[in-house]
A = this chain, B = another copy of it.
Amino acid sequence: MRELWRFSPGLGICGRASAVGHAESCGPFGACFDFHDAQDRFGARTWETAEAALGQVVLNLALKRAGMSHKEIDLLLAGDLQNQCVASSQGMAAFGIPYVGIYGACSTFVEGLLMAGLALSAPGGVERAAVLATSHNCAAERQFRLPLEYGGQRTPTAQWTATAGGCLLLGRAPRPVCLCAGLCGRMVDAGIRDAANMGAAMAPAAADTLLRYFSLSGEKPEEIDAVITGDLGREGSAILHEILAARHLFLGTRHQDCGAMLYDLSTQDAHAGGSGCGCIAAMSAAHVLPQLESGKWRRVLLVATGALMSPSSLQQGGSIIGIAHLAVLERTAAP
Contact = CB atoms under 8 A, between A and B. Distances in A.
Interface of A: 1-3, 5-8, 45-46, 48-49, 71-72, 74-75, 79, 81-86, 89-90, 92-94, 96-105, 111, 114-115, 117-119, 121-127, 143, 181, 183-189, 308-313, 316, 318, 321, 323
A111 B123 CA distance: 19
Q: Is the interface of A mostly helix, strand, loop or mixed?
A: mixed
Contacts of A97: 186
Given A93-B321, A101-B111, A111-B100, A1 B83 contact: no
Contact of A2 (B74, B85, B105): B74
B127 A125 contact: no
Nearest to A187: B93
A125 B187 contact: no
A185 B98 contact: yes
B5 A89 contact: no
A7 B321 contact: no
Contacts of A101: 102-104, 111, 308
B122 A118 contact: yes
Tally of this chain's copies: 2
Contacts of A2: 74, 124-127
A2 B75 CA distance: 9
Contacts of A89: 187, 308-309, 321, 323
Contact of A71 (B1, B99, B115): B1
Given A99-B323, A100-B184, A118-B125, 16 more contacts: A5-B119, A5-B124, A48-B312, A84-B105, A84-B313, A85-B308, A86-B309, A86-B318, A94-B189, A96-B186, A98-B183, A98-B186, A115-B115, A117-B122, A124-B181, A143-B312
A62 to B, nearest CB: 18
A208 to B, nearest CB: 10
A227 to B, nearest CB: 19
B124 A122 contact: no
